[in-house]
Amino acid sequence: MPHAKSCKKRLLTSKKRNARNRVNRAMMRSKIKQYRQEIGAVPVEAKAQSLSEMYSLIDTQARKGLLPKQRAARLKSRMAAAAAK
């Protein structure tokens, strides 16, 4: 347990951020899984809309530091390839 006041604050903020990141990461992973499962049965117009939503989600999470930028780019590339099939 920290003794210094600033260390106690860092511990609290660290726990809050950890919880927030865990929720965001789980939400992102579940949406990615859902996208991968339903992309084959979706009409062409809906594919573009769905892909745009996924791009937005991935970019937002990368900007927040939840995943590295290169991993975000790789995910987006793979999703675009899946949508093109």
pTM of the model: 0.84
| Confidence grade of residue 15 (pLDDT, cut at 50, 70, 90) | very high
Cα separation of 61 and 55, whole Å? Answer: 10
User: Residue 3 pLDDT more than 90?
Assistant: yes
Alpha-helical regions (H) of the chain: 5-38, 44-63, 69-84
Q: Which of 51, 56, 28 is nearest to 39 (CA)?
A: 51
Who contacts 41 (Cβ-Cβ below 8 Å, separation ≥6)?
none
User: What is the arithmetic mean of pLDDT over 9-20?
Assistant: 97
Residue 22, phi then psi, degrees to nearest 5? -60, -45
> Mind listing the pLDDT tens digit for each residue in 24-46?
999 999 999 999 999 988 888 89
| Confidence grade of residue 13 (pLDDT, cut at 50, 70, 90) | very high
pLDDT of residue 44: 86
Cα separation of 52 and 32, whole Å? Answer: 13
- Residues 47 and 83 sit within 8 Å (Cβ to Cβ): yes
Q: What is the CATH number of the domain that holds 70?
A: 1.20.58.110
Number of domains the chain contains: 1
Domain that holds residue 39: 5-84
